[in-house]
Structure 1
Amino acid sequence: MLAPVLIFVYARPEHTRRTIESLAYNYQADDTDVFIFSDAPKNEKAIKNVTLVRDYIDTLPDKKLFKSVKIIKSEFNKGLANSIISGVNEIIELTQQVIVLEDDLITSPDFLSYMNDALKFYENDKKIWSVSGYTFNLDFPDKYESEVYLSYRGCSWGWATWKNRWDNVDWQVDDYMTFRIDKSLRKKFNRGGRDLSAMLDSQMKGDIDSWAIRWCYSQSKLDMFTIYPKVSRVKNIGLDGSGTHSGVSSKYDTSINTSNRRCEFDHPELNDKIIRLFKDRFGTRFEYFVVWNKALIKKMLRI
């Protein structure tokens, strides 16, 4: 039985259409159950686009693009973090595993087969926290033969996990006061990127509202890894200024898989060179604060 796909949409009708149409071109689309979670408008400005998104997704059940389509429309604005946490909680309780997309992710035709194969292959490997469909374009070592690699950090751009991993997330971050002043814990968390500890600080101060930083923090505490493909199965089209939580950037552009051959999974060793290359893509703690402060200033000027 294939894992269901959860798609979280808000107020980007064109991005939503492209996300769903690319998923519909997947080889296993006909056998996949899809749950679409639509958040309500945050303000009057968002009403038009939320309506356009909802008008579009309402047409999907009759198009028979997937095995089934269930649409869940929120009556009030939850925000992305609460939408994902509550949506995944609801479905993973029933299905034990999920594949998750947001409304700005183009998938390769083999995305579903890659994800389902990975979920099956790593189900009993208790060191694996999640599976990512996205990856950077990295300069892999010449002798690195595996088609996947390990990272200390999960990715929210097309991912999958199991209930027995998801249930271990501490959404309240109860030990934050200890973490905040413990240099060794902060260093450990930053193995996945120099921005991580600073992002968790911003989350706990209320400056940002991120489910993913709390998800990654629990992963770090449990010393678990995320499986990444060498060749991406996901392309993010949302870094164009249209998203609530994203600006404009080409930094994360990546080549997307075009091969019809199924990925051959194995149990790769942690590779120090790949970890360094991966970590460098997130810049420094200082760069994170510069980017965040610029975004905060722009937000304040619009108020």
Structure 2
Amino acid sequence: MNLAPIVLFTYNRPWHTAQTLRSLADNLLSNESELIIYVDGPKPNAPEDNIKNILLVRELVQKQTWCKKLTVNISTKNKGLSNSIIDGVSETLKTYDRIIVLEDDMILSPHFLEFMNEALEKYQDIENVISIHGYCLPIDYPEPVFLLKGADCWGWGTWRRGWDLFNPDSQLLMAQLKDKKLQYQFDLNGSYPYTKMLNYQIRGKVDSWAIRWHASAYLQNKLTLYPGKSLVQNIGGDGSGTHSQNEEHTKTILKTDKIILKDIPVVESCMAKKLIIERLTRNLSLKNRFIKIIRALR
């Protein structure tokens, strides 16, 4: 099996970064994998404690190899999360045909790398599938995997062919959504404020690569494969992150055993979509959910 390089983006959270790296090192394929780490630099006039934490992260990531091979890229300037991820993913995919992407606030199941690599291999030539995702909302889905329209951002993988479809132009993405009258469907039938997030991206109130990645995939009718039970636990909802948000409805329990990839129809799962919409709708009102997201992204 052709193992994908793992690219981890870090900044100023040494404790969170350590949890991510330890869970990655505990994965069954870590000792056969290549890890590439990007550490963002301090913002102008950054407070002393922020600079101290960045230095701690730099020290931590170089403390051991964590995987079979380690490359660390340290930025002296602050690029911001969006630019860091867009540039890092693009640069990596110049050399490799696939990639697994992590941020510094994710605890991984020991079977995360197995699932990601097996799925990247299985779907590499299925053009309708743009990416693989490791996180899943806590829904009662009975099957091992399902497909949803769009793309996602909590422990994900793609191929060069998938990332080539990424469009960073949020204004053009919004124009296409409006032209095709897809805003309601894009918002998961009104259960999640993706369109408003994209609008805030246009207005400069947020800086999100993820909403543009999702919109790029959605507008081209591409699908993402999800596990029925989550292989990623996000620990960034404590307010420590640049774009963190504390939302109860996203909290999940890690699946600790292997997921067997079954052949499924290459179409969006109506059942999974329905369960996700129900999960989002019953936890918070759309208005309150949007307010929380925007406050976190400022």
Fold match by TM threshold 0.5: yes
Partner of 1:218: 216
The answer on 1:17 being equivalent to 2:18 is yes
Q: Which sits farther off after the overlay, 22-31 or 246-255?
A: 246-255
Q: Which moved further from structure 2: 30-39 or 176-185?
A: 176-185
Aligned with 2:200 (options 199, 202, 210):
202
Q: What is the CA–CA distance in structure 1 between the aligned matches of 2:261 and 2:97, rounded to whole Å?
A: 23
How do 1:146-225 and structure 2 match up within 5 A?
146-173=143-170, 175-176=172-173, 178-179=175-176, 181-182=178-179, 184-191=181-188, 194-225=192-223
Q: Give the count of matched residue pairs.
A: 289
How far apart, in 2, do the equivalents of 1:8 and 1:175 lie?
Answer: 27
1:101 aligns with 102
Gaps of 5+ in 1: none
Structure 2 residue 274 is matched with structure 1 residue 270: no
Aligned-partner SS, 1:175: helix
Identify if the C-alpha distance between structure 1 residues 181 and 135 changes in structure 2 by more than 3 Å, giving closer, same or farther: closer
1:250 is displaced (CA, Å) by: 2.9
Is 1:58 aligned to 2:62, yes or no? yes
Where does the alignment leave 5 or more consecutive residues of structure 2 unmatched? Answer: none
Q: CA deviation at 1:295?
A: 5.0
Corresponding position of 2:51: 47
Q: Which amino acid aligns with 1:56?
A: L
Determine if contact 2:112/2:232 at 8 Å carries over to the other structure.
Answer: yes
The equivalent of 2:125 in structure 1 is 124
Between the aligned partners of 2:41 and 2:52, the Cα distance in structure 1 is 11
Q: In 2, are the aligned partners of 1:198 and 1:285 still within 8 Å (CA)?
A: no
Distance in structure 2 (CA, Å) of the matches to 1:86 and 1:15: 23
Distance 1:157 1:292 in 2: 15
SS for the counterpart of 2:224 is: strand
1:150, distance to aligned residue in structure 2 (A): 1.2
Aligned residue type for 1:167: D
In 1: Cα distance, 2:58 partner to 2:238 partner:
22
Q: Is the 8 A contact 1:121 1:265 kept in 2?
A: no
Does the CA-based 8 Å contact 2:171-2:202 persist in structure 1? Answer: no
What TM-score, normalized to structure 2? 0.90
Q: 1:137 to 1:293 in 2, by over 3 A?
A: closer
Distance (Å, rounded) in 2 between the aligned partners of 1:294 and 1:222: 30
Question: Partner amino acid for 1:10?
Answer: Y
Paired residue for 2:241, among 240, 243, 259?
Answer: 243
| CA displacement at 1:180 relative to structure 2 | 6.9
1:213-270 CA distances to partner (integer Å, 9 max, x unpaired)? 00001111100111100111111111111111113333211111111x4522322453
RMSD (CA atoms):
2.0
Deviations 1:171-202 (A, max 9, x none): 11352463475471313422385311111001
In the TM superposition, what is the alpha-carbon distance from 1:129 to its structure 2 partner?
Answer: 1.3
- 1:140-151 paired onto structure 2 within 5 Å: 140=141, 144=142, 146-151=143-148
Q: Give me the whole-angstrom Cα distance separating, in 2, the residues matched to 1:257 and 1:176.
A: 35
2:154, 2:240 → 1: CA distance?
A: 16
Mapped to 1, the partners of 2:218 and 2:37 lie a distance apart of: 29
The SS at the match of 2:250 is coil
1:41-93 deviations in whole A, cap 9, x for unaligned? Answer: 122241011011111112123xxx31100000011000100000000001111
2:168 and 2:83 map into 1 onto residues whose CA distance is 10
Can you list the C-alpha shifts for 1:116-139, whole angstroms capped at 9, x where unaligned?
Answer: 000001111111111100001102
Letter in 2 for 1:49: N
Q: Secondary structure at the match of 2:146?
A: strand
Deviates more, 1:122-131 or 1:262-271: 262-271
